[in-house]
Structure 1
């Protein structure tokens, strides 16, 4: 049932990692969220004994990374995370679950080895399938264990449930924070976030209306008059500034 012992998934992780029972108590995972270039934040979620430990979550406002380079961002997150330790309430994780496959996993591994070479932190990658659902777990030695089988074992079900919980939690945490940031900074006044509207179209919009405020006040019909913008673009821009009106209208 759904009351499965959360520790059972952790035991399975220990078994697959080839470590003794009781080795993995604290599991961490990180997520980097991009809000255009100047609002990159990273969330760190912590699971203790198989359950989310929300009081241990942390957020890092990214400082140095100017671009949307996820590897550079991840290096910064890890550097800032490992600047802390048990003395200030950030005890090291026994295991880090990395969102992604081989590339992400080895990138994180090399940074961890560089920052805390003797910490003995275990690593594994949470791999998603083409439908963006968690589908398996990847270890540093290249072992990949597919979990979304047609006839999964109990262990696979437990692990899949645990990894999905970690991924959902990481994502939810970062998004919640992003929303707070957006409200705070009123990012509605930025065109960079409108999907499908690149630099050329942004330029055309600003040249036509003179200011973002004017674009915000325009109707979809008026926006469609901008040179170089199609009707679909106009709808995208309009609904970006008027999200509350939904899809109708």
Structure 2
């Protein structure tokens, strides 16, 4: 029987601040083992001040084959990639990095695909709909791009950081034109609510929108992977919305990440 970890085990790292909420170490390791890989994903709590030094050190570890990136490092991690997928290059952010056979580090940004796939798996229809995106950080950037790619008619962006909000709107408008707007009308005028903020992670009772604004015809997606149901998801289920939780998104995303990590070219 194969031991859990031995000298030939291949290492993958996940970096974040905080990191205690991450479910990826156990679940990605299980996926790797299911593919008959002697490999493990190890969590590291890394602050922004230490991130660059840590990544440089990890790259020097010869039995380390890839890195998973979580909050708040997705933009900074892009700078450590010698190559990147088209979507990651456009967004200038990555959530997964791998060492290629040539030794070059390649990155991809899968968060948006995971968000969209989770909604589609729930039976949600995105094409032609009006979407309200809360949060313009790493996950929000990828989700906004993916929603526009899949064909939403309009994307309105809101972030507490006005500069970040405007920068994302400008970037996406350059690619997708006047389908992109900032802030927009109240949430109840949209078909899709996409929460890409951490609201609800620390306090399940916090909601990024007024739950009374939700309608049964809406699709509500959340990136939060809290233990327990967030106020947003509870209100959306009660209203009869199509609901996709952060856990749904992660399940849709996980195999895409593992596929990328194991494809060295």
TM-score of the two chains, using structure 1 as the length reference: 0.28
TM-score of the two chains, using structure 2 as the length reference: 0.26
